[in-house]
Amino acid sequence: MSLRPAVLITGASTGIGATYAERFAHRGHDLVLVSRNEARMTELATRLRNETGVTIEILPADLTCDDDLVRIEARLSADARIGVLVNNAGTAIPGGFAKHGSDKLGKLLALNVTAVARLAHAAAPRMAAAGKGAIVNISSVIGLAPEIGSTLYGATKSFVLFLSQSLNLELAPSGVYVQAVLPAATRTEIWTHIGRDVNSMVGVMEVEALVDAALVGFDRREAVTIPPLPDDEQWRAFEAARRAMLPNFSRSQPAARYRQAV
């Protein structure tokens, strides 16, 4: 058993989640892998045990199913060995917002929003009480860019970003670090879910490069890590502009421009 904190990773059978598993295993962390695809997790776990010698546990679960979600919540709440949660599981659906069926809409919200919030909520009190721990939430640059489209998917990723930033402010005094990671287009299987050929796209980042960059941000304890953004000053300016508005939100009267009819 490793002396380093164990890492629980959702969506761990492929793509970003599987790459996080590989990187943390090679750093010497024991792993708890969560995904619907038990066969893929078993294959990954076998390889990583052989390569690194770490302990790896597999928890097959569908996080859109409440019984499964409750089971993973209970594990996060009770297992003091788990010091890092990587909230990676997520999905997308094709078509515009008006064309989404209510069943697919509900599944997307359950995985991208409800599961992320509930798993973070399960881990946070225990970590805060211990005075240490980390929660990594995978958001997306689409959450900052409604012009790109993907209305509902983008809205869920905006939620993840806000949740992460607010949680980091709330939990940092207790010694718990929260990171939001904002990938752009990355070579994962999510594109098959929406019927896109990733090989026909430009500007696609390889998943290994994405996770390696995210881990640099993790090691630096960045609150928000945007691997494809070349100029960090743009993000700093964005944040400064947002913060500059805050004092103007607490006013008893509407702004002058709203106090007369057109």
Active site residue 177: no
Model pTM? 0.94
Report the alpha-carbon distance of residue 126 to residue 134 in Å, rounded. Answer: 11
For the chain, give the mean pLDDT.
Answer: 93
| CATH number of 238's domain | 3.40.50.720
b/e map of 10-24 (b: 16 or more CB within 10 Å)?
bbbbbbbbbbbbbbb
Question: For 212-243, what is each residue's pLDDT tens digit?
Answer: 999 999 999 999 999 999 999 999 999 999 99
Domain residue limits at 148: 6-258
- The larger pLDDT score, comparing residue 256 to residue 199, is at 256
Answer whether residue 210 shows pLDDT above 70. Answer: yes
On whether residue 71 sits in a domain, the answer given is: yes
On whether residue 80 sits in a domain, the answer given is: yes
Query: How many structural domains compose the chain?
Result: 1
Read off the tokens for 19.
């790459």
On whether residue 181 sits in a domain, the answer given is: yes
Question: For 30-85, what is each residue's pLDDT tens digit?
Answer: 999 999 999 999 999 999 999 999 999 999 999 999 999 999 999 999 999 999 99
Answer whether residue 203 shows pLDDT above 70. Answer: yes
Q: What is the structure's pLDDT at 184?
A: 87
**Residue 202: band (very low, low, confident or very high) from pLDDT cuts 50, 70, 90:** low
On whether residue 1 sits in a domain, the answer given is: no
- Dihedrals phi, psi of 64, to nearest 5 degrees: -90, -5
Question: For 2-28, what is each residue's pLDDT tens digit?
Answer: 689 999 999 999 999 999 999 999 999
